[in-house]
Structure 1
């Protein structure tokens, strides 16, 4: 039996209220001006802006931009429970998907069943990274922290001793969704290396 309209609205508002907690999840990346840690809600907003502005450069010209935006808005909500996982923390990354899948069940489960299914499918699509929309969403998700790091003199990378080769290995998949964006990112990385803000890997 389906919820009454009022009960459905109450579940939706409960979900929206729960998602306010995303503002309290802080990332390793810092904002370029204050240099304070970026929070997940700011990250999600910035990614949405990236999608709208950069969609014309996607590898696939028939991109469903609204679907990409939905994926971007949804995919980090799981960090309310699972927390932010630093992209270069190998041990934490090994169990990231399992932690976040459990979180997805709880958080999306607050919604009415039809929306819970839709949101979980969007999250799963982003995680699988096989559709053109998921590949582009991943491209901007990888590019945005690189941009903030480059515009803050490598603040998060230097704090954790991350070298150029690790940044490239982590982010080269940008090209799968947006090859021009990866070409730009490579030049951006070389510029910050040349400026002395990102170290090359030690020679063997």
Structure 2
């Protein structure tokens, strides 16, 4: 996998700044690349696609607002960390559209390699901390990670609703495929999954999602 050089290679931070802080600032500068990674989801407020940084911010806000609907008690601050970190690897791995028929095949490999490279820009202790957050999100073995993943699936659903279909209308995708991809919401919140199913059903009724079933690949 080819990766661009870190942004600070072309304009290094002054040596007068201590090494640890230089590493931290360099990582934060590299994180600015997240603003350039376009997702498939359309924005609700204007006619363009959202980027990964906007997506991550929206998830953090959703955690704060919707935490009361979690089936298990969650640490809101920790869950916010999970959603802010989870897509950073896409700086190097790129976005993998949820309904793409083939891109998901090597997604785990691409993203793990990206995590190795990106988090290594941080001081070692923080690299371990941030990597642990990313791994926790991916594993979904904690209540916080399950809720974070639920937000990751619910957020684009709200945007697709506002777009009167959006990616629900991807070629070959039906309302049943959408339900299958979004069912993970129910692992964290029965209430939010119930609301999600209402959105899909109403979208299907209005013609914003195709009826019938096509197996999700």
Q: Structure 1: which 5+ runs fail to align?
A: none
How far does the alpha carbon of each residue in 1:2-45 deviate from its partner, in whole angstroms, 9 at most, with x for none?
Answer: xxx81100000000000000000000111023231110000001
More helix by share: 1
Q: Distance in 1 between matches of 2:57 and 2:170?
A: 25
Q: Structure 2: which 5+ runs fail to align?
A: 1-16
Aligned-partner SS, 2:41: strand
Aligned-partner SS, 1:29: strand
Q: Distance in 2 between matches of 1:71 and 1:80?
A: 16
Counterpart contact for 2:42–2:163, Cα < 8 Å = yes
Larger RCO: 1 or 2 (CA < 8 Å, sep 6+): 1
**Residue in structure 2 matched with residue 28 of structure 1 by the alignment:** 40
Match of 1:87 among 98, 109, 130: 98
1:118 to 1:189, Cα distance in 2 relative to 1, 3 A: same
**Residue in structure 1 matched with residue 112 of structure 2 by the alignment:** 101
Counterpart contact for 2:177–2:213, Cα < 8 Å = no
How far does the alpha carbon of each residue in 1:113-136 deviate from its partner, in whole angstroms, 9 at most, with x for none?
Answer: 000000000000100011101000
TM-score, length of structure 1 as denominator length: 0.94
Match of 2:50 among 13, 16, 38: 38
Q: Distance in 1 between matches of 2:186 and 2:170?
A: 27
Q: How far apart are residue 99 of structure 1 and its match?
A: 0.2
- Give the alignment's Cα RMSD to 1 decimal: 1.5
**Residue in structure 1 matched with residue 145 of structure 2 by the alignment:** 134
Aligned-partner SS, 2:102: helix
TM-score, length of structure 2 as denominator length: 0.88
